[in-house]
């Protein structure tokens, strides 16, 4: 479970880079669904970025849905995510490779890319 949680965090971090212009921050806000996984996070997982810097992650694995809450910051092309998993706090930074109104690609520290589509 900790491995999946850490993987989820790494994927989320990898998913939100690009320039941190105000319009990019606005594009990031919303619910994103993982459509192509480069890491351990399963396709179908969702990540919600709120306008006040909060993060909500939902992952289905082994017939169970797990939810994680945290915070994020977007500075330049770096997305930093902090999640609380049980008694452990995890912090990861990833690079946003693509951010449009409906597409998000994030690269983690291992150069694995996750592709997200914005849910309407």
Q: Confidence class of residue 12 from pLDDT cuts 50, 70 and 90?
A: low
Which among 100, 119, 113, 103 is positioned nearest to 19, based on CA atoms? 100
Q: Confidence class of residue 118 from pLDDT cuts 50, 70 and 90?
A: very high
Q: What is the pLDDT of residue 4?
A: 52
Spell out the domains of the chain, with CATH numbers in brackets.
Answer: 2-118 (2.40.128.280)
63-107 pLDDT per residue, tens: 899 999 999 999 888 999 999 888 899 999 999 999 999 999 999
- Which stretch of 5-9, 50-54, 98-102 has the lowest confidence by average pLDDT? 5-9
Tokens coding 116? 């997200």
Q: Confidence class of residue 45 from pLDDT cuts 50, 70 and 90?
A: very high
Residue 12: its H or E element? helix 2-14
Q: What is the dihedral of CA 18, 20, 23, 29, to 10 degrees?
A: 80
Q: What is the pLDDT of residue 61?
A: 81
């Amino acid at each position: 479970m900790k491995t999946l949680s850490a993987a989820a965090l790494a994927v989320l971090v990898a998913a939100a880079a690009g320039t941190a212009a105000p319009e990019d921050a606005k594009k990031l806000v919303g619910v994103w669904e993982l459509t192509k996984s480069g890491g351990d996070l399963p396709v179908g997982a969702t990540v919600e970025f709120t306008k006040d810097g909060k993060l909500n992650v939902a992952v289905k694995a082994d017939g169970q849905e797990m939810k994680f809450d945290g915070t994020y910051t977007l500075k330049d092309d770096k997305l930093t995510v902090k999640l609380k998993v049980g008694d452990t706090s995890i912090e990861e930074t990833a690079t946003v490779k693509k951010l449009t109104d409906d597409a998000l690609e994030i690269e983690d520290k291992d150069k694995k890319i996750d592709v997200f589509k914005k849910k309407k």
